[in-house]
Structure 1
């Protein structure tokens, strides 16, 4: 019996294999599958390095604000070796009484102060008050000099230890205060560290609130803070260990904390938003992580590289404090970046849908990959690019215009709190000896040129008085001539006096002193600022070109950063130089912006600006790779990343503006300049001008010349 053959069945429809993850995608999947290994590794790293973190404020250095290789630094080194420590780093002990200092009771206080200083191993010799030199004309103020027997950093630590015990000797009509450059930096670092720690504490709850609003979920909002804490603990411990090899400024940790908080939140925000969108599209944990890392992860890696190269340009400034501050921030960024690309994917893969746990009522809307509001904004910009672009450009140029009259100088004594030891001693010296005495110049000259040097210095109209020439204590062929200027150390006329002396003195004569060290550092910063700006912009352009393969939009994105930077410094001039809003912020304007602000803040602002540029342009390139449509690239970029840029900028502005309400002036400058820059960059440059540039450039924005196409690697940003 024949059976009929069964009817053939149609083959099943081919199912498209998911795209093979790229390098970062594979790293993310590996982190998910090795969750315990990644978590254990980070716990060991954080606990091991974090154990050293409590030592950070005592281990890091308080000095380093100098121009290496300058005449003034040479004078300090020579004075330490050959003049019994009578250098700019020596500690001055000021004794002021309501009766003559030769009164037995006052002399007893002077002797106790001398003994207290002499007992410190970092002090070489204590020079008692000298009538006619360090005893005031009215006989009621005397100055003892505790010579430097240690490095400038150790002398700042000596000031930390001595200033309060010396002040405790006050009483019965006698006031004892320590002053001088080492005490000034001791007070300056403490005041600013306390203010920055206070600002950090204030910024955390504000940051958490913004993150909760952005994510709509307490779990998702907590991930960026977890990431930042891990990076901070590791970087703080690393800085302590590195400080045993070479000095690291205590400011490195202050800036590292601020930058790690801001960038860590940015990076985590970008990845978590993309992961939630991938989960909402139906992908399981590992696949969602792979897509997140191959898209948002690449943007984060490029952003981190841009931040690192921007800050590396600060290394061109041969000043220890600047180099160590830049290095500290770079170290913190490296740890945060490493945690973002390993720890965060592992946690996201383990959490899966639970990333939305403890969701707030509006959280369901946040799983959408695009933002309807920013999509609508993108359509509006596409239809009316010139209208919105011209408006944003006009605002930025108007705010940047005041920068043409910006003046810079090193901080004056007024940046210290009124009760600071250095400021109290400084004021007492000025009142007793004259306005220029705290800025006494130290001029080293060969012994055979001493008489000519004294004549030249005495004849200078900017000099109020010249002390007798002092031979080297060790018998070497050096003589020190100390000269008191007619003006306060922060007066611009002092610079003219120093320049004139250097031009007229014998060839081998060197002019130094604490005030001259500031002038030399200011000159160095002014000289190096154009170089740093040029290198930062060039490196930023190269990185964007490398990633986007589009020279036109890479150039436009790089140049656009100058607009927000210029506007921020224009606002800084109005606030800190001209004093607008000084009463509201609670400070007395110095009539200038601190000299280190332009070069250092520019690198920081440019790094942050490129952070947003990378996020936006990476999203635009992803859309263009998928569709080939310039309109979809521009509108889609805003729809996909506009909300992230907006939320990230809100966090940064909140963090920076908390520093603006800190007590001392330098954190206020930092908070205002960086906060205004981020606000303007996100609101006007990245969410208006850059999309308008994409609109006007059209396909040309993404064109790659053939010769460049053969040179550059292909880095896709789409996951398809």
Structure 2
């Protein structure tokens, strides 16, 4: 390979930065041969000679934070699925404050019998349930069944109302503690079930947590098998898992501490564990593969660590930054569950990134050639020049870009088109198991009191406007029944009116009814209830999705521009990420909204995708896609800095990084698709959507479309205007 004569480059822009200058054309100090010139290279070199010190420091961190880890399932929050500042949340707060806790977070104890509830045996069960509820300090006023309100017309179903005396998260924990003992009161033709929003979230969290934990346990041996095949060495394959376990333990304990500052959703732990596993393996793969290549070239472990961290280490750091930036955009959604999940993943990524940049180089520096120990019989020695297979694939793409690029684009566009008709809504009662307490009680209430009874609407209104509010409710077609008006117990001047809709709480028609009420009720009336809280949350998600997507795209482009120093290649990376994400959501619509393949996966289509998917899954998919983009483009830039040859940049990038992207994607697809085996629908959605996204991104975008676009754009992909060059900070990926 020959280096291009830099005198041929125009002075108004930069197409081929000299390896002896910085990107801005300024002379840089050159270290001795083999000495890393970058901060991360020097950090890696420092760690490589201090395994004991680095290990002790990480042991202190992991042991200190890990000591809190056993509390993670019991202390994290179970609620938070609400739109802060919404009208419905205000109704809940007023109902809890002024109406003895008769809010959407209250518990409903449904007692269904094969005889009238006036029967002494049934009354005894009612009394025992009431006594049990009164012993819990989180429960406010307990209201016995009332004729005409909470006793069914046939007299065989009664509801005991247990007011909320604590916040929503504490009420979910109360549901965790009480639903079992309450169900134990069943027998002799009497069935006792706790239901209501707090119980629903309790059952929802438990079912999904158990399913996700089972899936994660299943994914570990699959992951190890793929890593062993990828590395051909048991020692090298074990390093990513070591890194991941350190990150998992530290992040689990950190989540417990975070919960003391702000309520943190139990889902934050699930997503944090999943991302720590996936990204920890990604980062370790990239570093270990590059280290083995450098070790094969130089034969010196310390020098190999310095070179690896000076090149691949920068890519990993940038990748971690893009993941953190993408997830930070989710904080724009004013929902506690979303914000805490994003923070949980960000904490996990931070610990995994820190371990990758410190603990991993320390271990590699100590292992040296022993990193290849316990090699499998079929394993080939690490090639310092990269993978011959992926180099050959790159040559083929370079010779025939349209032959491979056009079909890839057509497939991605065909999958992306259905996203236009994607519908979203909050999940229905069907996402929790049929034998769960919340669903059993839901069905019993619906059977005894009507289709809309499980999701009663709550209207808080000034006492002077109560009669007018009742009149509006009774004249609204979507309302089946109106309960007697309740005056505030503390004489605050408020009245509470509860109404039963004519349709099931998950019926889309309810949204129209709520909108009608908000238009026609007296001006100071507020409409709430658990089902309205879901509607308000969905409205906020719909409104915030374009903003979140726009912020993620903009910040992703800026980070790529800072790293790659070239606007066109940064734009290519961002747009191809968006295309892969759109294709994944288009496929999700076909599967989860339209029901294609539902029988194969084992679920019943709801006719929509769960409401949090567009915002949260987009951030996650884009973060993962940026992960692969950074690995590939950083490697391409490294080779372009060395040679000034676009062809060598593409071939070198695939030769050195294609195998890593392929192996990392295989691990992620395996991890995500194991969630498709889970019973509840939400883990299936997450597993299929994320798994398809990674599969499409790695196979069609990173290993086909992106190299093809670099081939078609040539030197223009790496060109930077002179004015932009002066604004951008100096950042190089090549190792002098």
TM class by shorter chain equals over 0.9
Aligned counterpart, 2:46? 30
2:311 corresponds to which residue? Answer: 295
Using the alignment, how far apart are the partners of 1:238 and 1:701 within structure 2? Answer: 42
Q: How does 1:31-110 map to 2 (within 5 A)?
A: 31-110=47-126
1:9 is matched with which residue? none
**Which position in structure 2 is the counterpart of 1:416?**
432
**Alignment map for 1:14-413 (pairs within 5 Å):** 17-413=33-429
CA distance in 1, matches of 2:71, 2:689: 30
CA contact (8 A) 1:216 1:366 kept: no
Q: Which residue is 2:6 aligned to? A: none
Structure-1 residue corresponding to 2:569:
553
Q: Deviations for 1:190-241, whole angstroms, at most 9, x for unmatched residues?
A: 0000000000000000000000000000000000000000000000001111
Query: 1:646, CA displacement in angstroms?
Result: 0.3
Cα distance, 1:601 vs structure 2? 0.1
Tell me the CA shift for residue 20 of structure 1: 4.0
Q: Aligned to 1:616, which of 612, 632, 636?
A: 632
Higher RCO (CA < 8 A, seq sep 6+): 2
For residues 119 and 190 of structure 1, the distance between their equivalents in structure 2, rounded to whole angstroms, comes to: 24
Distance in 2 (CA, whole Å) between partners of 1:488 and 1:46 is: 48
4+ residue segments displaced more than 6 Å? none
Confirm or deny that 1:544 pairs with 2:560: yes
Corresponding residue number in structure 2 for 1:5: none
2:454 alignment partner, SS class: helix
Q: Secondary structure at the match of 2:689?
A: helix
Given that 2:632 and 2:702 are in contact with CA atoms closer than 8 Å, whether structure 1 keeps it comes out as: yes
What CA distance in whole angstroms lies between the structure 1 residues aligned with 2:681 and 2:162? 29
**Do residues 453 (structure 1) and 469 (structure 2) align?**
yes
* Aligned twin of 2:27: none
Provide the C-alpha distance between the structure 2 equivalents of 1:579 and 1:277, rounded to a whole number of angstroms.
47
Q: Distance in 1 between matches of 2:73 and 2:195?
A: 21
Q: Distance in 2 between matches of 1:235 and 1:678?
A: 24
> Is contact 1:179–1:421 with CA below 8 Å preserved after alignment?
yes
1:625 corresponds, among 641, 648, 653, to: 641
* Structure-1 residue corresponding to 2:595: 579
Preserved CA contact (<8 Å) 2:296 2:382? no
Question: Where in structure 2 are there 5+ consecutive unaligned residues?
Answer: 1-30
Post-superposition CA distance 1:656-685 (Å, at most 9, x none): 000011110000000000000000000001
Q: Deviations over 1:74-100 (max 9, x none)?
A: 000000000000000000000000000
When structure 1 is superposed on structure 2, of 445-454 and 571-580 the one drifting more is 571-580
Cross-structure match for 2:729: 713
Following TM superposition, by how much is the alpha carbon of 1:57 offset from its aligned partner in structure 2, in angstroms? 0.5
CA distance in 2, matches of 1:709, 1:591: 50
Alignment partners' CA distance in 2, 1:100 and 1:20: 83
Match runs of 1:457-606 below 5 Å: 457-606=473-622
CA–CA distance in structure 2, aligned partners of residues 350 and 333 of structure 1:
25
How far, CA to CA, are the matches of 1:68 and 1:325 in structure 2? 16
Cα separation, 1, equivalents of 2:654 and 2:42: 28
**Aligned-partner SS, 2:160:** strand
Q: Which moved more, 1:21-30 or 1:91-100?
A: 21-30
Whole-angstrom CA distance in 1 between matches of 2:147 and 2:528 = 24
Displacement of 1:32 in angstroms is 1.3
Aligned to 2:26: none
Give the C-alpha shift of residue 365 in structure 1.
3.3
What's the counterpart of residue 12 of structure 1? none
Matched, 1:639 2:652: no
Q: Structure 1 stretches of 5 or more lacking a match?
A: 1-14
Stretch of structure 1 that moved more, 361-370 or 613-622: 361-370
Give, in angstroms, the shift of residue 466 of structure 1: 0.4
Alpha-carbon contact 2:117-2:157 (below 8 Å) kept: yes
Deviations 1:127-147 (A, max 9, x none): 000100000011000001000
Offset at 1:286?
1.2
Query: Equivalent of 1:686, from 685, 702, 710?
Result: 702
C-alpha separation between the residues in 2 aligned to 1:127 and 1:369?
76
Alpha-carbon shift at residue 524 of structure 1 (Å): 0.4
The CA distance in 2 between the partners of 1:593 and 1:385, in whole Å, is 36
